[in-house]
Amino acid sequence: MTKEEVIKNDALGNPIEIGKLYGYAGNSQGINSVWIGYAKKLTKMGVTLNVSLHKSGAYGELRVVEDTNYTKVPKTVNVKSVMLFPVKYSGC
């Protein structure tokens, strides 16, 4: 392996595969969010995902987040690899 090659593992300990579908969930100030996207590239800080689906909500209810004046859904996000889980979902 050369210095340029980077191996990142997902939350299950498996190597991240570029082009594979992954998801992660988070909570910030009482708002729950779920992100699903395809691994685009590995970076020093984590994995860049092309976002396919983002749902967000509070009190156990999630809704698809739309681009509005209040919320801008990014096309890509960078996530620590250990937060990612492989996803099998045909809706993306």
- In this prediction the pTM is 0.78
CB 53 within 8 A of CB 46: no
Which is nearest to 11 in space by CA: 87, 86, 84, 79? 84
Residues with Cβ within 8 Å of 64's Cβ and at least 6 positions away in sequence, in order, are: 53, 54, 55
Integer Cα distance of 44 and 15 in angstroms: 15
- Region 12-40: mean pLDDT is 92
**For residue range 52-68, what is the model confidence (pLDDT) as tens digits?**
888 888 776 766 655 44
Listed range (14-23, 69-78, 83-92) with the worst mean pLDDT = 69-78
